Each structure stands twice: as C-alpha cells, then as structure tokens.
Amino acid sequence: MSALGLLFLTLFNSVLGLSILFPILGPLGRELGLTEVQVGLLSTGYALMQFLLSPYWGRRSEGGRKPVLLLGILGFAGSFLLFGLFALLGQGGHLPPEALFPLLFLARVVGGAFSSATLPTAQAYVADVTGRENRTAGMALLGAAFGLAVILGPALGAGLAALFGLLAPVFFSAGFALLNALFAALFLPESRTRGGPVPGRLSPWDARVFPLLLLGLSLNLAGVALEQTVAFYFQDRLSLSGVETARAVGLALAVYGLVAVFVQGFLVRKLAWPPRTLLLLGLPMAVLGFLVLVLAREFWALVLGLALQGAGAALAGPGVTAALSLAVRENEQGSVAGLNSSAQALGRMLGPVVGTGLYRLQPEAPFLLGAGLLLLSWALLPALLRRMRL
C-alpha cells in the first residue's frame, strides 16, 4: 500500500474515534446535568488548544512527520480515557455537580493540546508525497477519510450507546486510538527527508494565505455550529428520547458522511477540479443545505438538508486546503498546514458557543448563521480568487 493510502487509514481511524461521540455528546451532557452551553464549552476548550498549538505542531513536524502524528494520537487516547472516567464518576454520584464540569473540561483541554498535532501533520504529509499537480486530489483524500469516519463513527456510537449506555462510545474511542497508534508506528513510513530545505516560518497575516484562512474559518464555524446543535435540533424538532436521538442523528450523519466520501473520495479525485471550481460550487450548495434544515419538519427533510450541506462542505473544504498548500513554498508546508488547522480550530472553538448560544434563543438560528456566513464568502469569492491568482 502507498504512503498516502496508509495515511488515509491512520487519519480515518483517528476521526472515527472522534465522530463516534457526535450523536451522544448532547444526550450525555443532559444526562449528566449539563446545560447546552456547557456541552458547547467542552468542545470549545478542545478547539481552543488546537487553535493555540496547531501552528507549533505544524512547524515541529518539519523535523519528522511520524513522531508528531503518533504523539497526537496517543494524547487523544489519554484524554478520552480521562473524560470517560470523570463522566462515570459523575453518573454514579461520586463527583459533586460543581466539580464534574471542570474535570470534564480539563480532560477535553488535554485532548485538544495533544490531538492538535494530527491534522496539520497529516496535511503536511500529503504535501510531502504528492506533486503540485496532484495536491488537490491528495487533500481530497484526507477529506474522504473524514467523511468515511463520519459514516461509520456516529452509527457505531449510536449502536454502542443503545446496547451499553451513553458512556460506552467514550471508552471505545480511547481503546481504538491506542490501536491506531500501534498501526501507525508499525506501518506508516516517514515522509520528511532529513537534510531538506530549512523550514519556513509563516505569518497568518501573510497576504498569500490570510484571505484563505478567513474562508476556512467561516466554513468551520458554520459547520461546527451545525454539528454542536444537530442532536438538540433532532431531539426537539422530532420529540425524541435520548437514545432515540442518538439513533436518529447517527443515521442522519451516516448519510452526511456517505455524501462527503462520494464527493471527496470519488468526484473531486476523478474530475481533478482546481480549488477555484471546488469553492465556486461548494459554497452555494452548503448554503442551500442550511436553508433546507431551517424549513425541515420531518426526518427525511432534515437528512436532505444535512446531505446538501455535507456535499457543499466536501467540495469547499479541500478547495481551501489545496489552495493554501499551493500558495506557499515546499519548505513552508508544515507551517501553512499548522495555520490552516489553527483557523479551523478557531471555527471549532467559536462554533459550539455561538451555535448553542443561538440555539437557546431560536433553534433555527445556528443554521441561519451558517447560511449567512457562507453566502457572504461566496459573494466575495471572485475578487479573492483574482487576487490570489487561483
């Protein structure tokens, strides 16, 4: 198997462990007595550390991609184990309510600090093993790994929750991450040759990358606001119980992931569209998906909205990542991947708080925010593309 194929499996395994929690985090938070905003803050703390540390890990990976990738996976495993243990103590009444949330938050912060190494290192790895003409297809393969994990992860998480309770997916994720680290250690080759060009230090304000970082931030903020409120939205819109919510959201996100895998794993790679085309098509499609979610009143309509939004994001996401990689020199790939991951993490940090806060005001508000951000990005895109010469 090629190095890119092995990286696909490694990243797929990492995202699978995370996506297992998507359908159960909301119901689990309510079972533990947390508010919607506190559930959002758990994800915000995780993303805060990714925002702060992704540039560091990206630069550090220039000295060797594989050790940094392994450290990220192992940190993820340890943090999920801590989270599960604290939640288990809270369920049993062994932790007072005022102590439970700070400890859960601490576990998520630790996880964010270490797992922030994974994505920028994987993106830089792709740049190492692909030529510039194949860069977009390589980045799309990373997106396909995410999408495939989102197909299987939520369905697996919903099944584990239905059979063994809402905490079972948390402990499964911790153990699965340890197996993933072992797989990567044994089979994934190093891509960074020693004695190469001196790593470049890249400012986020660099004119080559700053507009694209803003676009990536908008995409992630909109997507995470959706992700953090979709379980609440399904539960309240369809009047479901906690386990019913996990099952319904798991099925809906499986469809979402299937669409993303088809778009990124087949369509983008087969048609070899440049970043410009991916962005011009993806942004309005994602806007349409958000609007369908606002109007939906039945399960099938909610699934349709998620599928449209997922297809749009699956086009636009690799467009941003590939455009950033192509905008800089080869010795700046680790740095630009770190900045890209940091911008995405900022979206993940703001998205839960903004999304859950807006949800308390009006359930449709997070989706209207997403539609507005991406519609504005699409309107400004032609001028940006001319300036970036993409």
Tens digit of pLDDT for each residue in 315-340? Answer: 998 899 988 888 888 778 888 989 99
Tens digit of pLDDT for each residue in 301-319? Answer: 999 999 999 999 989 988 9
Q: In this predicted structure, what is the pLDDT of residue 339?
A: 92
List CB contacts of 271: < 8 A, sequence separation 6 or more.
none
Rounded-to-integer distance, Cα 373 and Cα 34, Å = 29
- Averaged pLDDT for residues 154-180: 89
- Comparison of pLDDT for 111 and 352, the residue scoring more: 111
Rounded-to-integer distance, Cα 374 and Cα 32, Å = 35
Q: In this predicted structure, what is the pLDDT of residue 15?
A: 83
- Comparison of pLDDT for 132 and 140, the residue scoring more: 140
Tell me the average pLDDT of the chain: 86
Rounded-to-integer distance, Cα 322 and Cα 184, Å = 24
Q: In this predicted structure, what is the pLDDT of residue 209?
A: 87
Query: Hey, what domains does the chain have and what are their CATH numbers?
Result: 9-188+204-388 (1.20.1250.20)
- Averaged pLDDT for residues 34-52: 82
Q: Provide the b/e sequence for 123-138 (b: ≥16 CB within 10 Å).
A: bbbbbbebeeebbbbb
pLDDT range class, residue 23, cuts 50, 70, 90: confident
364: how many CB neighbours lie within 10 A of its CB? 19
Tens digit of pLDDT for each residue in 187-214? Answer: 999 887 655 555 557 888 888 888 899 9
Percent of the chain with pLDDT over 90: 31
Q: Which of 68-72, 129-133, 210-214 has the lowest mean pLDDT?
A: 129-133
Q: Are 72 and 56 in contact (CB under 8 A)?
A: no
- pLDDT surpassing 90 at residue 68: yes
The amino acid that residue 173 corresponds to is S
Q: In this predicted structure, what is the pLDDT of residue 388?
A: 63
- pLDDT surpassing 60 at residue 138: yes
**Number of residues written out for the chain:** 390
Q: In this predicted structure, what is the pLDDT of residue 199?
A: 57
CA distances from 378 to 82, 161, 219, 372 (A): 41, 39, 11, 10
- C-alpha torsion sign, points 25, 26, 28, 29: positive
